[in-house]
Structure 1
Amino acid sequence: YDFRYRRQRFSGPTGCTSKREAEKVEDAERERVKGLQFDASKPLAFKAAAAQYWNEVGKFHRNHVDTLRSLEWLQDHLGAGTMISAINDATVAKAVAKRRGEGVSAATVNRSVNEVLRALLRRARRTWKQTVEDIEWKDHFLKEPQERVREATAEEEAKFMASIRGDYAPALRFALLSGCRRAEIVGLEWKDVDFFNREFRVTGKGDKTRTIPMTAAIYALLWDLKDHHKTAVFSYVVKRPREGATKGQRVPITMEGFKTEWRRTKGRAGVEDYRFHDNRHTAATRLVRATGNLKAAQKLLGHSELATTSRYSHLTKDDLRAAMEASDAAQTVEPKQTPAAVENKK
């Protein structure tokens, strides 16, 4: 990035491989610099509050690109000059209705509007000592349909692996084996991988970390990647060089890049009604089917409550029913006829 603010020049590397991502970083840095003028003793407009929230919290999120996009949407809708003290239930209701009107899911509305705005206003009240309205957030969060459990069949998995770019294939295979989220895969670094103890550590939602043991398949997959990049576990080969990169160089995969390749892979594979998150369901489903152990699935997925993992309980019931029916079929014999039954047939 390279820009001027109040007659002072600011420049530096973005660490990105695409112009779009670099522009996002420059915009964020520009807002960060403007945020340095932050004065918590005065009432804040949304633009200043958003810049400060990004500077203190947002840019450290694993999904920081999504956080930045949400802040930008909120600023466009609420107005950069709107005082945060004026944001009330009516304001939130209008923002939710506007986002719903864009045809996105209830989950997307909740994540991109309610969660981000609530976090910003909460920080404004608790940390910056700003006066903000008491908002009934439970009235604004949309009901999300119960998450379905969609498992990839062996045929679908084979189609995905045959359709994805070779340098992205290890990341997809890792998702199916480990049940890790996309952000956890993108953020995985070699410092988090322990070959000696055969385990690796990921940071998930809420910046919670969990350690997952390596199976033989995961160990072999990661071992083959250890010389590809110095810090990032999953990387790709640059085919179209942009600023800061050269053709043939390996650079870390990014959230946006992985999303793009997954979208293309699905199109080439021709598999319908399947999301990247379903790779996580696939890993958990296979584990529960093989072991019947919901606690193991809970640890694999990093769920804090077993109730969250209980969506997979139908697998153990179905498998139990199938086993019982197989047992019944194996033990079914022609019943012996009683003397009375024989006499009645005469």
Structure 2
Amino acid sequence: MLYKRPDSSVWWVRFTTPDGKRVRRSTGTENKSAAEEYEAKLKQDLWRVSRLGERPTRTWQEAIVRWARETEHKASHADDLCHLRWLDQHLSGATLDQIDVDRIDALIDARKSGGASNATINRMLALVRAILRRAERRWRWIDRAPSIALLPEPRQRIRWLTREEADRLLAELPEHLEAMARFSLATGLREANVTGLEWAQVDLARRVAWIHPDQAKTRRAIGVPLNNDAVLVLRQWQGRHPRRVFVYRRRDPAGDDTKWMPISKAGKGAWHKALKRAGIENFRWHDLRHTWASWHVQSGTPLHVLQELGGWQSIAMVQRYAHLAPEHLAEHASRIESGIRPVDTILARSRHR
């Protein structure tokens, strides 16, 4: 039977299948004729599943609901939800077996027409591929997931600041962002770990801080040694807020009082304005972490030590910075320098020709 809930204008369907299973589901439409068609098709599909053993047809909406529930522990869960909201415009109402290579190509074209980069499109494609593979291999909802190839991504240089550029930027930032940027350059912590840092995670006497597993991208706890720069920043911010380390002063709309408020995002408008005033282009907040790592490598910190300091899961993530400190290869480069004629001898001969 069809019915409407008191708080909704959408038709719902309710019936019992031949094997005694009770079904109660939204039709997703306010049109009664369309709802009746949905009910008839649903009953037919469930009958075929029950009597003929056929696999039920699953929808994209069913897949993303189950995916979101099973992967809510992921560090990138919020990013996944952003991609899924965009995908809902194009895959809403589609069954999983309708998502083929042509449908994927249409998604790519739609993202490109909106100005998305290959890297952004690849994050979306990787998510769709993961969902469809899970639907095939774990949930057994489809026979075969389509093959989804990622787009080529140009290798980009690691963006980092020189000491002089960092000084210029810090001088242009408002007080709370300056403190957070200094702390980031001293510890290499990611933005979310800095904005969410609590005093309960800091021990100034031991000069250490720590990131809990549920706060870390790799879901592993990170111990953070605090150098003098980091300790000075923390001491400046003691006593401003009972729980959070980094806060900003906001005026109370109801009066003239100001309150110290937690910070949810660092790289917003004030950050971009400061970059412009400092004459620094193509630099994100996350590049402070690249700067910290680059300074470490150039100062002689071994890569395996940098890996532990930065909480990276694999040494491959740290190899990106190795080219910034080739001094350890100088001894090996010099081994063949005496095998050819000295440059001054070659130049002297060329003058007499």
TM-score by length of 2: 0.67
- From 218, 224, 231, give the equivalent of 1:219: 231
Tell me how far 1:181 sits from its aligned partner.
2.0
The equivalent residue for 2:125 is 114
Tell me how far 1:152 sits from its aligned partner.
0.8
1:116 partner letter:
L
Q: Distance in 2 between matches of 1:230 and 1:126?
A: 48
Q: 1:110 to 1:56 in 2, by over 3 A?
A: same
The equivalent residue for 1:97 is 109
Q: 1:313 to 1:258 in 2, by over 3 A?
A: closer
Identity of matched residues, %: 30
Relative contact order (C-alpha < 8 Å, sep 6+): which is higher?
A: 1
Q: Distance in 2 between matches of 1:253 and 1:188?
A: 10
The equivalent residue for 1:249 is 259
1:160 partner letter:
L
The equivalent residue for 2:16 is none
1:191 partner letter:
A
The equivalent residue for 2:24 is none
1:57 partner letter:
T
Aligned partners of 1:62 and 1:187 also within 8 Å: no
Q: Distance in 2 between matches of 1:120 and 1:250?
A: 42
| CA shift digits 1:48-91 (9 cap, x unpaired) | 44345445534x5555553332111111122x211234323332
1:88 partner letter:
D
The equivalent residue for 2:79 is 66
Q: 1:93 to 1:233 in 2, by over 3 A?
A: farther
SS in 1 for 2:235: helix
Aligned partners of 2:252 and 2:259 also within 8 Å: no
1:136 partner letter:
S
Q: Distance in 2 between matches of 1:169 and 1:6?
A: 53
Aligned partners of 1:63 and 1:183 also within 8 Å: no
| CA shift digits 1:213-258 (9 cap, x unpaired) | 111221222233343333333222224759xx99622222113x53
- From 146, 156, 170, give the equivalent of 1:135: 146
Q: 1:96 to 1:187 in 2, by over 3 A?
A: farther
**Structure 2 stretches of 5 or more lacking a match?**
9-54, 335-353
Q: Distance in 2 between matches of 1:241 and 1:124?
A: 50
The equivalent residue for 2:291 is 282
| CA shift digits 1:138-163 (9 cap, x unpaired) | x2x22323341222122221221122
Q: What is the root-mean-square deviation of aligned Cα atoms in Å?
A: 3.5
The answer to which of 279-288 and 174-183 deviates more is: 174-183
Q: Which runs of 4+ in 1 moved over 6 A?
A: none
Aligned partners of 1:62 and 1:183 also within 8 Å: no
Q: Distance in 1 between matches of 2:272 and 2:143?
A: 41
TM-score by length of 1: 0.68
SS in 1 for 2:272: helix
Question: Larger Rg: 1 or 2?
Answer: 2
Q: 1:128 to 1:275 in 2, by over 3 A?
A: same
Q: Distance in 2 between matches of 1:64 and 1:239?
A: 33
The equivalent residue for 1:88 is 100
Count of aligned residue pairs for this structure pair: 282
| CA shift digits 1:164-216 (9 cap, x unpaired) | 22122222112211222223323333333333443222333343332221112
The equivalent residue for 1:47 is 61
Tell me how far 1:311 sits from its aligned partner.
2.3
